[in-house]
């Protein structure tokens, strides 16, 4: 589906509003992860306002798509997006990391509707998502018997529920990730699309200095994945990549999304020191003004 200019503009404006909410949350909390949350605002916006089959009024709707956030430390972007999508009030975002809040520093599935998994320990999300995709595949086979492929593997051609898993690039250093990649490739989970936030930073520095990941594309292709690369801050390009993933029936798809950590705030873009650092109140005012100025809004004081 080709997006109209109006649709693209609306999605970009929504991502900017979500970035503002992220800054508000982090200032109010006094802790949390800034760079990755801002960098992923475009992708998470694309998911919840265009890609996912979901219903905020029925968060447990059985036929919904599943969105798994493996790198749970960037939960501010997920919480902000869920609030903007109508899962809970935007005012609740300001309770991030507060004692007793539903918005914990890492997502807890049983606390908040709209969350599919509890996440935090890196490397687990792809295994969880692959398990969901495999279960949905088995459910489809109960309803539709399809011919076997040449290698004897039974393939279901019913789209059904899809599973999307967002991972950080740093968590590709976790062995559990590669066990899941093997499982998904072996079982040809075409209803699974994984996204790597390829922002090149982690808490101790640049990924290629800490533990080189390249050639990441070749590695996943060797595990029998269909792999795409895209500018993760280009919403139409990312949506086009997801559309291509839906057309792949013989294997899972990985989208390597190249994003700018700290996107929208020039002072912190590509600075790994902002991986787990929140802005102060004064920095929050300045960052909000920059986001609003870049979006064409009339700047005003951050409350």
Instruction: Print pLDDT tens along the chain (303 aa).
Output: 689 999 999 999 999 999 999 999 999 999 999 999 999 999 999 999 999 999 999 999 999 999 999 999 999 999 999 999 999 999 999 999 999 999 999 999 999 999 999 998 899 999 999 999 999 988 877 665 444 444 444 444 445 899 999 999 999 999 999 999 999 999 999 999 999 999 999 999 999 999 999 999 999 999 999 999 999 999 999 999 999 999 999 999 999 999 999 999 999 999 999 999 999 999 999 999 999 877 655 433 433
Global pTM reads 0.90
The confidence score (pLDDT) of residue 137 equals: 87
Identify the sign of the CA torsion 277, 283, 285, 286: negative
Give residues with Cβ within 8 angstroms of 224, minimum separation 6: 185, 186, 188, 251
Residue listed under structure tokens 């004692």: 99
Cα dihedral 120/107/246/177 (nearest 10): 10
Could you say which DSSP state residue 50 is in? I
The confidence score (pLDDT) of residue 168 equals: 97
Q: Are 37 and 25 in contact (CB under 8 A)?
A: no
Could you say which DSSP state residue 174 is in? S
Nearest to 37 by CA among 228, 268, 243, 282: 268
Q: Which tokens go with 58?
A: 């029925």
pLDDT digits (tens, 9 = 90+) for 194-248: 999 999 999 999 999 999 999 999 999 999 999 999 999 999 999 999 999 999 9
CATH of the domain spanning 5-294, picked from 3.60.15.10, 3.40.50.970, 3.40.50.1370, 3.40.50.300 = 3.40.50.970
């Amino acid at each position: 589906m080709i997006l109209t200019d109006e649709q693209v503009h609306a999605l970009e404006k929504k991502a900017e509003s979500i970035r503002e909410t992220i800054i508000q949350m982090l200032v109010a909390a006094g802790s949390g992860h800034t760079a990755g949350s801002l960098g992923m605002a475009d992708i998470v916006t694309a998911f919840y306002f265009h890609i996912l089959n979901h219903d905020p009024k029925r968060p447990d709707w059985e036929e919904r798509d599943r969105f798994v956030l493996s790198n749970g430390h960037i939960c501010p972007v997920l919480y902000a997006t869920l609030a903007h999508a109508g899962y809970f009030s935007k005012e609740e975002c300001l309770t991030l990391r507060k004692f007793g809040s539903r918005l914990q520093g890492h997502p807890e599935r049983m606390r908040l509707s709209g969350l599919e998994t509890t996440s935090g320990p890196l490397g687990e999300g792809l295994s969880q998502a692959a398990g969901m995709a495999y279960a949905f595949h088995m459910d489809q086979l109960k309803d539709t018997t399809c011919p076997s492929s040449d290698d004897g593997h039974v393939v279901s051609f019913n789209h059904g529920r899809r599973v999307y898993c967002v991972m950080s690039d740093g968590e590709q250093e976790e062995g559990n990730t590669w066990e899941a990649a093997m499982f998904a490739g072996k079982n040809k989970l075409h209803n699974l699309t994984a996204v790597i936030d390829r922002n090149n930073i982690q808490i101790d520095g640049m990924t290629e200095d800490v533990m080189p990941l390249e050639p990441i594309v070749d590695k996943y292709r060797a595990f029998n994945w269909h792999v795409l690369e895209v500018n993760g801050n280009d919403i139409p390009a990312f949506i086009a990549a997801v559309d291509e993933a839906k057309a792949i029936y013989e294997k899972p798809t990985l989208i390597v999304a190249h994003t700018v950590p700290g996107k929208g705030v020039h002072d912190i873009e590509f600075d790994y020191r902002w991986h787990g650092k929140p802005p102060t109140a004064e920095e929050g005012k300045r960052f909000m003004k920059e986001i609003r100025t870049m979006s064409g809004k009339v700047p005003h004081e951050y409350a």
